[in-house]
Structure 1
C-alpha cells in the first residue's frame, strides 16, 4: 500500500514508519525538512510539497499527524497561531489537495487529541460524549477534526484519532516528566485527583494500523488505554519504576500563574473510555499503567508491536 504521512518525523510517525516499512508499505512523508526523512523514518521518502506526488505515486491512504508540540510553551498569541496553523491550516491544505486529485485515497486517518473533550472532571466520557468544557485546546481539536471531516465530501473514509498522552522510551510526555523525577523533584500536580488518560506507543501504532485495515471504521476513536488513572496514581507508578521519591507536589496556583490557560493540560483531565475503539475489534496490548511503564523502562518499549 502507498501511504502518505504528515508528522512522520514525530514520535508516533517514526514508530509507524518502522512498523509499516517492515510490512512492505511504500511510505512518503510530507515534511518541512524532507532531506531528514530517510534518516528518521524507516524506508520513507521525503517531499517538501504535495505537488511532487502524481500518477502512480498518489497514495492509497493518508495519515495526518502533523502539529507543533502543544505543551512545550505557554499559549501566547504567537504560539496559538503556530499551533492552529500546524494543525488546522495544514489539514485544510491537505484535504483541498485530496479533493483535486483524480485518484483519491481510500482513507484519511487524521490526528486529534483527548483535549477535544475539555476538562471533564469526574464525568465518564467516551466517543459519544459532547465537549464538556471549552478552552483553546478543545477549540483547536474541534476545528482540526472539522477540516479533516471535509475529506468525506470527496468519498474518502475519515477516521479521527483522539490520542491521549503517549508513553514511549523515545520521547513524548515521559521524557519531560522523568527529568524532575530523576532529580527527586517529582510529585503530583495540584491535588492529584484529575484523571489522566494514556496510551502505550505500541497501542498507538497498533490502533492506527487497525483503522487503516478496517473499512468500516470511520468517525472518532479514542486512542487511550481502557484503564485511566488519576494524576496521583500516575505519579506514584512513575516514581516506582524510576525508583525515585514523589514528594514535591506542584501547587495548582503556581501552575496557573506560570502557564495561564495552558495549565488545563496539567490540572484538567478526562475520565475517558475507548468505547468505539474496543467495539471496532481492537485489542489493547497494554491496559495496565504499571505494566506499561515496566515495559517501557525495563524492556525498552519504544514502539515495537
Structure 2
C-alpha cells in the first residue's frame, strides 16, 4: 500500500504534467465569470477501448513486454472511460457540483500491480520489466509521451466524490480491465 494518498487538497506534484495542469486551472479560474459555476476535473489515466495509451500498453503486454516500469512502485491512478463520461455529465448538469475534483477510481494501484492486472486481462502470464533508462528512450518513440508520466506517479483518490456519494461502475482495476478486454 502507498505511504501517502493524495486528494483534492494535496499540493500539485512536480514535472511537466502538473505544471501544465496548474496553468490550465489558473487560466480557467481567471476566465470564469463571477456568476458562473465552475468545475475542474483533474483527470487520471483514462482506460478505454480503441485508442490512447491503453491500446499501446495492451499491445506491449501481449508481446511479453508488460512488466513493471522503472521501480514499479509509483502510483497509478486511473478511471474507466464510462465513469469519466458519467463525471463529465454530472459536472454539466448537477448544480451542486463546484470546484476541484479528482477524476479517478477509488482504488489506485502501483505500476507493478497495474501491469500485472493488464497482463492477466490480455492473457499474458509474464512481462519483462522496463528499466528507467529504457523508458526514457522508448516512451517518446513508441508511446509518444513524456517518460515521466510512466516513471513517476502518485496514489490519488477523490475525497469529494466519496463524500458526495458518487458510485463508480468500475471501482477496481480488475473490474475495469475485465470490461475492456472481456476476461473475468
TM-score normalized by the length of structure 1: 0.55
| RMSD (Å), alpha carbons | 2.0
Once residues 17 and 7 of structure 2 are traced to their aligned partners in structure 1, the CA distance between those partners, rounded to angstroms, is 18
Matched length: 178
Once residues 148 and 101 of structure 2 are traced to their aligned partners in structure 1, the CA distance between those partners, rounded to angstroms, is 22
Instruction: Please tell me whether the aligned partners of residues 122 and 195 of structure 1 are also in contact (alpha carbons under 8 angstroms).
Output: no
- Structure 1, residues 249-295: CA drift from partner, whole Å, max 9, x if none? 00012223555993210011111111112223321111111111101
Once residues 195 and 168 of structure 1 are traced to their aligned partners in structure 2, the CA distance between those partners, rounded to angstroms, is 19
Once residues 259 and 237 of structure 1 are traced to their aligned partners in structure 2, the CA distance between those partners, rounded to angstroms, is 21
Partner of 1:53: none
Displacement of 1:134 after TM fit? 2.2
Once residues 7 and 156 of structure 2 are traced to their aligned partners in structure 1, the CA distance between those partners, rounded to angstroms, is 6
Higher RCO (C-alpha 8 Å, min separation 6): 2
Instruction: From 39, 43, 49, give the equivalent of 1:169.
Output: 49
Instruction: Report the 3-state secondary structure (helix = DSSP H, G, I; strand = E; otherwise coil) of the residue aligned with 1:212.
Output: helix
Once residues 122 and 141 of structure 1 are traced to their aligned partners in structure 2, the CA distance between those partners, rounded to angstroms, is 24
Once residues 137 and 156 of structure 2 are traced to their aligned partners in structure 1, the CA distance between those partners, rounded to angstroms, is 27
Instruction: From 129, 144, 167, give the equivalent of 1:249.
Output: 129
Instruction: From 12, 16, 22, give the equivalent of 1:142.
Output: 22
Say whether residues 1:290 and 2:174 are aligned partners: yes
Displacement of 1:154 after TM fit? 4.1
Partner of 1:191: 71
Gaps of at least 5 residues in structure 2 are none
Once residues 116 and 86 of structure 2 are traced to their aligned partners in structure 1, the CA distance between those partners, rounded to angstroms, is 27
Partner of 1:278: 162
Partner of 1:124: 5
Displacement of 1:149 after TM fit? 1.2
Larger radius of gyration: 1
Instruction: From 97, 104, 107, give the equivalent of 1:217.
Output: 97
Once residues 174 and 152 of structure 1 are traced to their aligned partners in structure 2, the CA distance between those partners, rounded to angstroms, is 33
Once residues 258 and 234 of structure 1 are traced to their aligned partners in structure 2, the CA distance between those partners, rounded to angstroms, is 19
Once residues 171 and 162 of structure 1 are traced to their aligned partners in structure 2, the CA distance between those partners, rounded to angstroms, is 21
Once residues 89 and 70 of structure 2 are traced to their aligned partners in structure 1, the CA distance between those partners, rounded to angstroms, is 36
Instruction: Please tell me whether the aligned partners of residues 125 and 272 of structure 1 are also in contact (alpha carbons under 8 angstroms).
Output: yes
Displacement of 1:298 after TM fit? 0.8
Instruction: Please tell me whether the aligned partners of residues 182 and 242 of structure 1 are also in contact (alpha carbons under 8 angstroms).
Output: yes
TM-score normalized by the length of structure 2: 0.88
